[in-house]
Amino acid sequence: MGIAENLFGGLLAAGREKAWVINAQEMRALSAEWTKTLNIKAINDNARVVELSGGNQQKVVIGKGLVQQPRIVIFDEPTRGVDVGAIAEIHQIINRLADEGLAVVVISSYLPEIMNLSDRILVCRQGRIVEEFSPAEATEEKIMYAAVH
């Protein structure tokens, strides 16, 4: 499946009103916009997603959620398995979404990611919130201690 089909497939499947009026030409134009916005590196919008790098595949997944214009976005391990360059780009996307007023929840086992992206850090253990930190007071040691004790 190509980038455009991946980005807009969720809208079509959900029967969204907007999806019914998107024609192929409009879908390609919107796909080009999203490809640029998310800095997806591909030969063209018809490129198959499975042929993209892991980081660009992840950005397509992010775009798939964002085309639905959510008010809250939950990222679960958003940078697992992607290269360092893609990590920085994904972090920029997450920060931009928060700056634009979306509620953003990041779930990650990569502590530097949590500490760099968060306005508030909640530590869960056995399905319960056991500790809350501000970025200023959080350290990897404190977070890990709260997670296991």
DSSP string, the chain: -BHHHHHHHHHHHHT-HHHHT--HHHHHHHHHHHHHHTT---SSTTSBGGGS-HHHHHHHHHHHHHTT--SEEEEESTTTT--HHHHHHHHHHHHHHHHTT-EEEEE-S-HHHHHHH-SSEEEEETTEEEEEE-TTT--HHHHHHHHH-
pLDDT in tens, 18-68: 555 567 788 888 888 999 999 999 887 778 999 999 999 999 999 999 998
Query: Can you give the pTM of this predicted structure?
Result: 0.84
Q: Which CATH architecture has domain 3-118?
A: 3-Layer(aba) Sandwich (3.40)
What pLDDT is stored for residue 127 in this prediction? Answer: 93
pLDDT in tens, 66-82: 998 999 999 999 999 99
The ranges assigned to domains in the chain are: 3-118
What pLDDT is stored for residue 12 in this prediction? Answer: 55
